[in-house]
Amino acid sequence: MNVHVVWGLILLGVCDVAARTIMEALASRYDIMSFSSLVRRAGLESLLNTGKYTVFAPVDAAFQLLPEQMISQLYLKENLPQLKALVKYHIVPYTGNTHRHWTGEKVNTLASKPVRMVTYPHNKVTVVNGVVLTESNLSVSNGHIYLLSTTLAAPSGDIVKSLQQDSTYSKFLTAAALSGMTNKLKEDNITVLAPSDDAFLKMNKTRTDALFNNVPLLRALVEFHILPGVYYSYGWYNKEDIHDDNPKYDITYTVHEYGNHLFWITPFDGSVWNQDWLATNGVIHAISGVKYTWPFIGDLNRIIG
């Protein structure tokens, strides 16, 4: 899997950078001028010169991906609180060892909203809210700076709330509610493969009718779509096997990559058409098909008769 990141073109010596504070290091690089400007506008220069922090600094190209009007609005005096919140969401207390192996832990930011950190051993990539971190020799005297290819945004709700905001997933949420699995979708550090309503329509209607009238099988179906751990797309790789700990029907998913960072998941139909949908308790990937196993279908067919 190719990981696309943005690197600074000015390479500073490790000793030179380590002697500088976070703010001094930010100001010394031409490729993060936009973020440095926002830090100054937010009045956080002194904080980053004296406190010990880890800073996730989006490169200038990241801000070019945002609506132009959004940036200009942030510089208005009346929007200073929003500007401060944006900058503070990119700053966390110093996390110590920059090579730490993260397993989905949440780290609180200065904006009082956490980011989630995950390290994927197979490609040695660490992500924050699904965005790849790069170091680029930016250990400084009072912390560490990572460069980001995009800006960070806090998720607005947990997986259930996020799916409720889009009527496309009403059947999956109904299945969870009828089977008593809604609270399972609210557990922390999980990945949900969310089938759309169209995905359910691809199933035989006789099967779906029987399924929604059988709680044990409906519960098993929902469980097929919940994976332990947070799998952002930059942690996937071609032909990766992911085991789901379904208590009755054992299943192993295989991730396939095609094109430029596009994926589908087998067995059965499972093109990922909306990936890295952030939630406060994990991540959602919308998929085009409902997941199940042949033994599951066999049990369902026996009920139908």
Amino acid residing at 10: I
> Residue 112 half-sphere exposure, CB side, CA atoms within 13 Å?
1
Separation CA 169–CA 194 (nearest Å): 7
User: Cβ(22)–Cβ(48) under 8 Å?
Assistant: yes
Q: Which 3-state string (H, E, C) describes 23-87?
A: HHHHHCCHHHHHHHHHHHHCCCHHHHHHCCEEEEEECHHHHCCCCHHHHHHHCCHHHHHHHHHHH
Choice among 88-97, 130-139, 210-219 with the minimum mean pLDDT: 130-139
Count other C-beta atoms under 10 Å from residue 137's C-beta.
15
Count other C-beta atoms under 10 Å from residue 281's C-beta.
21
Kindly give, in sequence order, each residue whose CB lies less than 8 Å from that of residue 267, ignoring residues fewer than 6 positions away: 251, 253, 254, 291, 293
Separation CA 98–CA 244 (nearest Å): 30
Judge whether residue 7 has pLDDT over 80: no
Share of the chain above pLDDT 90, in %: 65
pTM for this one? Answer: 0.88
User: Cβ(52)–Cβ(93) under 8 Å?
Assistant: yes
pLDDT of residue 238: 87
Tell me what the pLDDT averaged over the chain comes to.
88
- Per-residue pLDDT, averaged over 216-239, amounts to 93
Separation CA 51–CA 47 (nearest Å): 6
Higher pLDDT, 245 or 59: 59
pLDDT of residue 122: 81
What pairs with residue 285 in β-bridges? 193
Kindly give, in sequence order, each residue whose CB lies less than 8 Å from that of residue 229, ignoring residues fewer than 6 positions away: 103, 104, 189, 190, 191
Judge whether residue 71 has pLDDT over 60: yes
User: Cβ(25)–Cβ(152) under 8 Å?
Assistant: no
Q: Is 89 helix (H, G, I), strand (E, B) or coil?
A: coil
User: Cβ(11)–Cβ(131) under 8 Å?
Assistant: no
Cα distances (angstroms) measured from residue 36 to each of 27, 44, 48, 51, 142:
6, 10, 11, 16, 17
Q: ∠ CA 263-272-70 to the nearest 5 degrees? A: 105
Structure tokens at 251: 């299943």
Pairing relationship of beta strands 282-287 and 190-195 according to DSSP bridges: parallel
Give tens-digit pLDDT for 178-206. Answer: 999 999 999 999 999 999 999 999 988 99
Q: Which residue has the tokens 């005297």?
A: 141
Give tens-digit pLDDT for 246-282. Answer: 778 888 999 999 877 889 999 888 899 889 999 999 9
User: Cβ(181)–Cβ(221) under 8 Å?
Assistant: no
Q: Is the peptide bond before 267 cis (omega within 30 degrees of 0)?
A: yes
User: Cβ(149)–Cβ(261) under 8 Å?
Assistant: no
